[in-house]
Amino acid sequence: MSKKAVVLLSGGMDSATTLFMAKERGYKCIALIFDYGQRNRREIKSAKNVAKKAGCPYILAKVTLPRKGSSLLDPRIRIPKGRKRKAIPSTYVPARNTVMLSIALSYAESMRAHYIFIGAHTEDYSGYPDCRPGYFKAFNNVKNIGTKLGTKIKILTPLLNKSKSEIIIKGLQLGVPYRMTWSCYKGGLRPCGECDSCYYRRKGFRKAGVKDPL
């Protein structure tokens, strides 16, 4: 029997690679895409295109999150340029992964999918607190005691300890359509090249020795 999995798909290169890795491992994947009021609407379109390319059905879940405090949600806050290592940047969306994983868990339990994939990794995401290994360990404990299926559902983070270049190399081996993905925190026709996410994407492709199709 094929293994059923819910895969969180943002439209970025990490989640796209995660989806194709899950397919490679023989999972029957259902992509879960979120519209949480993000200013950058392009990533939703990218996620849909990647899911179609992978031949996976997708669910678009609409969630209302408070705009205050995050530059990804509040148009009054300017998306920062460059990187600030010591402080959590304004692009952090409060408790976003907790909200998304909880919804993914609800879908997984209702459709008896025993696996949830999320493409978080520690090198990227500017030190966001909900992308650390300890966070996923803690959420697994919540899942184990707070759901009917409990330990039968597994949350998998195959990219957690990989570098961006390692992710890209693996994705190219799997045929991930990186030209369809969108990493920039801003919308538009071309990546801004200045935000944190653009920095890590550019650095990853350069280290992998491959030209970014965007």
| 47: CATH | 3.40.50.620
How many structural domains does the chain have?
A: 1
- Write down the pLDDT at residue 121: 86
Low-confidence stretches of the chain (pLDDT < 50) are 1
- Write down the pLDDT at residue 87: 78
- Write down the pLDDT at residue 108: 96
Residue 23 lies in a domain: yes
Residue 190 lies in a domain: yes
**CB contact at 8 A, 111 and 100:** no
Residue 59 lies in a domain: yes
- Write down the pLDDT at residue 85: 62
DSSP string computed for 93-139: PTTHHHHHHHHHHHHHHHTT--EEE----SSSGGG-GGGSHHHHHHH
Residue 213 lies in a domain: no
Global pTM reads 0.94
User: 25 is in which domain, residue-wise?
Assistant: 3-208
Residue 214 lies in a domain: no
Residue 199 lies in a domain: yes
Residue 106 lies in a domain: yes
- Write down the pLDDT at residue 86: 66
Residues in the chain: 214
Quick one: CA dihedral 174, 52, 205, 92, positive or negative?
negative
Query: Closest Cα partner for 129 from 75, 159, 87?
Result: 87
The CB density around residue 56, as the number of other CB atoms within 10 Å, is 20
- Write down the pLDDT at residue 69: 87
- Write down the pLDDT at residue 128: 85
